[in-house]
Chains A and B, each alone.
Chain A
Amino acid sequence: MYILRLLSAFFKVNVQMTLAYRTDTIVNMLINLMWLGWELLSLNIIFHNTTSLGGWSLGELIALLGVFRLVNMLVAGLIWPNTEKFNASVRDGSLDYTLLQPVNSLFQVSFSRMVIWRVWDLALGAVLIILGIRMSGGGATPANLVSFVFLTISGAMVIYSLWIVLIAATFWFIKFDNNVTILQALMDSGRYPATIYPGWLRLIVTFVVPIALATTVPMQALRGDLNGWQILLFLGVSAASFLVAWRVWKAGIKKYSGASS
């Protein structure tokens, strides 16, 4: 399929770029591991003082860290590098080249840069999730598992859609270099279940920058906390968010090319 071929072409280019900066890659991977160690140590300290955090067991929190790692993979592996490239391309005009290539512009802006080594966050996250489920007694039904997978993907979709709207804002507010920092600022809140946060923070991380949608909600599905209607609601929200992002992007491109309507 054309899309796959294109993705693999982008992949190859980014592998090349990673190889061009080999030592940097190794250092970054080590720092990544360090943060994993830090997260696990912090959980250790918490559970040194208690046996459950707001109804969440240690195993469940470890699995949550795994989901967080997956979301972080999206943010650090795709969103950050492509934001840099996008901002630069608007500034120096090379966005024009992107618009004139016979490939969907949104696709290009989303995937032309990939931090390749972040793929191992996929493996680490999966290990954490499996480990966490085992530790918490492994009482997950197949239905829970399936909804967990779907909600993880849809949570990532919501974050992605938010990102698109944030960078598309550059088309209207030219001096908007800090556009994605709000996403980064709130990332920290994804390490712990949003159910323990005070109401106002919970609102922010569910509706404004939906980190909670991407991390806590899938975990709730895994634990069986959600009923069918809620799951469908979340899936619907994620689909709607993508549609909104798509429309905003198209409108932004039209504005950029000076279309009158």
Chain B
Amino acid sequence: MDFFQSGRMVLESTSRLMINLPVYSCYNANRMTDAILVEKLSKTYQVPEREGGFGAAVGGFFHRKYTDVNAVQQVSFTIQPGEMVGFLGPNGAGKTTTLKMLSGLLHPTGGRAHVLGFTPWDRKREYLQTMTLVMGQRSRLSWDIPAADSFLLNQAIYRISDADYQRTLKELDDLLELSPILRKPVRNLSLGERMKCELAAGLLHRPKVLFLDEPTIGLDITAQARIRTFLEAYNRHTGATILLTSHYMADVTALCERVIIIHHGQLKYDGGLTDLSRRVAPFKLIAVTLGDPCPCDLSAYGTLLPGGDEDGKQLIQVSARDVAAITARMLAELPIHDLTIEDPPIEDVIEQAFQG
């Protein structure tokens, strides 16, 4: 290249440096105190699209049409060390994608993030040594051998000294009651027991940041409660930062002071739980099937939702505060064949609170 070109290059790069410098320095200062810093993080997937039919299939062979799926759009937030934050949103909202980017599995298409000062998707060894990802639906333990032996493998992988290992294992055992299940092959454990072992396996190296993806999914109520108690105790005990995703409202309400709601890839809410419950008027759904054909107007009891089903089941929305009283009234006044009280799906809660 000639003199002018190289000169121009030098000029451009120094000016770029100068523009970035002030941002870098105050950004750097924040990096020291934040555990997790997320700035306009985005992830767009390109999904091949094809209509049905033979003609389209042949056409698709020659020319692939792609649509953009904006899984995560410009999400920003910061989390301080020791916080326990709940990531809430319906399936497909973008929670897991965000979590995958923060843990380092995915490269974003835009924006940036720093966890404990590292860029997660560089997957530097020092970063991987201080964080952990536990996914409720995927197992890291070997099926056929006792969990204890998978733990020993992790000890080697994370280079944990024998002393540290014994100490951490004892603490986890105290909190999770692992002793009875550690020597059984993982294949023979119940779902709840397995989840306990999965969590323990992910915590043997005392990570400072925990990413938990749907840790209570599929568990019964008691098991869910036990996991929640454990997480709360662990957070208090070790001061680890915990980011937990769920589509169970109960997980979040039980554990997290702070809630981040993601819907359609966008951040809808980031704040305290109490504020959230003020914004979201809690309500319940009563599903009722009437016995004899009855010209009763159910809208007298609450908001009648459109679309019952063929069995005659109809859904009424009532505020959570009044549900007991209204149910009692309905049972007394109507010929009820079947009645159940359900939690509204999280999507509806969010839709209603944040207007989609």
Contact = CB atoms under 8 A, between A and B. Distances in A.
> Direct A–B touching in the complex (beta carbon < 8 Å)?
yes
Given A94-B138, A96-B133, A17 B107 contact: no
Interface string B5-46: 000000000000000000000000000000000000001010
B153 A13 contact: yes
Nearest to B211: A100
B138 A93 contact: yes
Nearest to A7: B156
A97 B107 contact: no
A249 B131 CA distance: 24
A260 B106 CA distance: 10
Interface string A1-36: 010011011101100110011000000000000000
B138 A97 contact: yes
Interface residues of A, number: 27
A100 B103 contact: yes
B178 interface: no
Nearest to B134: A97
Contacts of B106: 257-258
Contacts of A99: 104-105, 123
Given A13-B149, A94-B139, A102-B128, A259 B144 contact: no
A258 B155 CA distance: 30
B48 to A, nearest CB: 12
Contact of B128 (A2, A8, A101): A101
Contacts of B145: 13, 16-17, 20
Interface string B114-126: 0000000101010
23 contacts: A5-B156, A6-B156, A8-B156, A10-B153, A13-B142, A16-B149, A17-B144, A17-B145, A93-B135, A97-B138, A97-B140, A99-B105, A99-B123, A100-B103, A100-B105, A100-B131, A101-B128, A102-B158, A254-B107, A257-B105, A257-B106, A258-B106, A258-B107
Nearest to A102: B128
B344 to A, nearest CB: 30
Contacts, number: 80
A92 interface: yes
B129 interface: yes
Given A96-B135, A101-B128, A9 B153 contact: yes
A12 B52 CA distance: 51
Interface residues of B, number: 35
A5 B157 CA distance: 9
B107 A94 contact: no
3 smallest CB-CB distances across A and B, nearest first, come from A9-B156, A102-B128, A259-B107
Given A2-B159, A21-B144, A93-B138, A100 B104 contact: yes
A149 interface: no
Nearest to B202: A97
A126 to B, nearest CB: 29
Contacts of B149: 12-13, 16
A244 interface: no
Interface string B41-68: 0010100000000000000000000000
Given A13-B153, A92-B138, A97-B133, A102 B125 contact: yes
Given A93-B138, A96-B100, A97-B135, 4 more contacts: A13-B149, A99-B105, A258-B45, A259-B107
B109 interface: yes
A20 B138 CA distance: 23
Interface string B174-202: 00000000000100000000000000000
B138 A9 contact: no
B122 to A, nearest CB: 10
B178 to A, nearest CB: 18
B152 interface: yes
B130 to A, nearest CB: 9
A46 interface: no
